[in-house]
Amino acid sequence: MDLFTLGYVGLAAVVLLVVLGVPVAFATAFTGIAGLIAIRGFDVAVGLVGIIPYSESAHYSLSVLPLFIAIGFLAMHAGITTSAYNAARVWVGRAPGGLATATIFASAGFAAVSGASTASTAVFTNLALPEMEKRGYDKALAAGVVAVGGTLAALIPPSAILVIYGILVEESIGALLMAGFLPGLISIVVYLLVITIVVMINPNLAPKLERTSMIEKIRTIPQLAGIGLVVGVILVGIYLGIMTPTESAAVATAIMFVMALAKKISFADMRLGLLETVKTTVMIFMVIWGVLVFVRFLAYTGLPASIADSIVGLDVPRWVVLMAIILLYLVLGMVLDGIGMMMLTLPVVYPAIVGLGYDPIWFGVLLVKLIEVGVVTPPVGLNCYVVNGIRPDIPLHTVFKGVAPFLVGEIVIIAIIVLFPDLILFLPNMVR
């Protein structure tokens, strides 16, 4: 069997294993090891695989990942997320779809201290969904808002998935984090417009709340101070070049730790938050290790370079290729989880994107947005499954029904990212 054929067999094997339910980390690792043994023999393959976990993980820049994850879990268990939601409810609760709007704002606040989409969805399924139901909100709308709000964690810094992208393609993590900020704000605005339009068409979906005085609103401002401080440290530190992304993450984590202590977080909650940080970090690193073994195998076959050359050499405008790649990710997002999808495709897609002359920072933001569309798209919309898992009384089809109007908004956001790349690269270019 020639090397190209072996590479295609390896790709097919990974896809088959993932479809059968094998975790991405194991599917890629086992396939990569088997492929390396076939190419280089058992002793050489084992030697190569044995050094990957340490050689690819013992980097200073990677320590940013567990720090960002820790910030989110500490904020959640210290009740800082609840405070942010209460403040958002007081400020915008009177607007059309006020509680839904407050959920989006609070989700954005949680996104600013956590890079995990599913964690954000889980938090607001427990926090915001019961509140909206109590106020007479339509269940589909309420569930859809919670699921979509969770996607903001992928773009608004700190974003774990942008960090993983930066690690895999060896791009500046600081530039990627800054690049995600404006698209994150654009996503918030589009989601709010969708809520407003849906509620204006059918006001019965979201009854108005009672008015709150300006004094009540002002009293809630200190509840937002913690999140504002953490966001400021991360963005200002990176933007001004005062701190590296890792240093800003360390300072932000220390601030969140002190705030958690000031909130009198219990030892049990502190322990739970740190344990969840460790578990999530280990899960992500296992996926990274498995995929890196598989990538090493693909590199020996020469398949990624060959496919990239074939794509670059197509006699079509480069935007046609980009549209095909976008469509590919939208389809894959219906059946694969985000991190697995990114790691399986980047070895082939990334060289082609660079060969076509697209900016890798811009493409990272576009890719993450496409991945986040996938987590709310049937049949395998992970955020929707999280809502249904926590609230089994809300059928999965109801959650997807609530998400449907927001998918139109997602198309608008993707169009803005594609048509205005300079807007996405404005902040990273300032950093670079």
What value does the mean pLDDT take over residues 39-49?
A: 82
Confidence band of 4 (pLDDT split at 50, 70, 90): confident
143-152, 238-247, 270-279: which range is least confident on average?
A: 238-247
Helices 267-301 and 42-55, axial angle in degrees (round to 10): 140
The region that residue 287 occupies, defined by phi over 0 for left and psi between -120 and 50 for alpha, beta otherwise, is alpha
Q: What is the structure's pLDDT at 312?
A: 66
Do the beta carbons of residue 147 and residue 128 sit within 8 Å?
Answer: no
Q: What is the structure's pLDDT at 191?
A: 93
Q: What is the structure's pLDDT at 366?
A: 94
Reading the block at residue 73, the tokens are 């879990």
Integer CA distances (angstroms), 300 to 48, 290, 295, 361, 362, in order: 12, 16, 9, 27, 29
- Model confidence at 250: pLDDT above 70: yes
Q: How far apart are CA 75 and CA 190, in angstroms?
A: 26
Q: Is the dihedral of CA 100, 101, 103, 107 positive or negative?
A: positive
What value does the mean pLDDT take over residues 247-269?
A: 82
Do the beta carbons of residue 143 and residue 387 sit within 8 Å?
Answer: yes
Q: What is the structure's pLDDT at 240?
A: 74
Q: How many CA atoms lie within 13 A of 376 on its CB side?
A: 29
The region that residue 97 occupies, defined by phi over 0 for left and psi between -120 and 50 for alpha, beta otherwise, is left
pTM of the model: 0.77
Q: What is the structure's pLDDT at 365?
A: 93
Q: Which residue has the tokens 């200073």?
A: 60
- Strand locations in 111-153 (E): none
Helices 98-111 and 64-77, axial angle in degrees (round to 10): 140
Q: What is the structure's pLDDT at 131?
A: 78
What value does the mean pLDDT take over residues 25-37?
A: 85
- Model confidence at 190: pLDDT above 90: yes
Q: What is the structure's pLDDT at 186?
A: 93
Q: What is the structure's pLDDT at 99?
A: 79
Integer CA distances (angstroms), 421 to 330, 359, 361, 362, 417, in order: 20, 9, 10, 7, 6
Give kind and range of the element (H or E) at residue 363: helix 360-374
Report the amino acid identity of residue 197: I
**Mean pLDDT of all residues belonging to the chain:** 80
Do the beta carbons of residue 147 and residue 399 sit within 8 Å?
Answer: yes
b/e 218-234 (16+ beta carbons within 10 angstroms → b) = eebeebbebbeebbebb
More confident residue, 272 or 339: 272
Confidence band of 410 (pLDDT split at 50, 70, 90): very high
Please write the tens of the pLDDT for every residue from 293-317: 887 887 788 776 676 677 767 778 8
Confidence band of 115 (pLDDT split at 50, 70, 90): low
- Model confidence at 68: pLDDT above 90: no
Concatenating the DSSP letter of every residue in 166-228 gives HHHHT--HHHHHHHTHHHHHHHHHHHHHHHHHHHHH-GGGSPPPPP--HHHHHHTHHHHHHHH
Helices 3-19 and 303-312, axial angle in degrees (round to 10): 100
Please write the tens of the pLDDT for every residue from 341-365: 777 778 778 888 888 889 999 999 9
Q: Is the dihedral of CA 108, 110, 113, 114 positive or negative?
A: negative
Q: What is the structure's pLDDT at 180?
A: 87
Q: What is the structure's pLDDT at 278?
A: 83
> Could you tell me which residues come within 8 angstroms of residue 196 by beta carbon, excluding any fewer than 6 positions away?
95, 96, 97, 101
Q: What is the structure's pLDDT at 432?
A: 60
Report the amino acid identity of residue 301: T
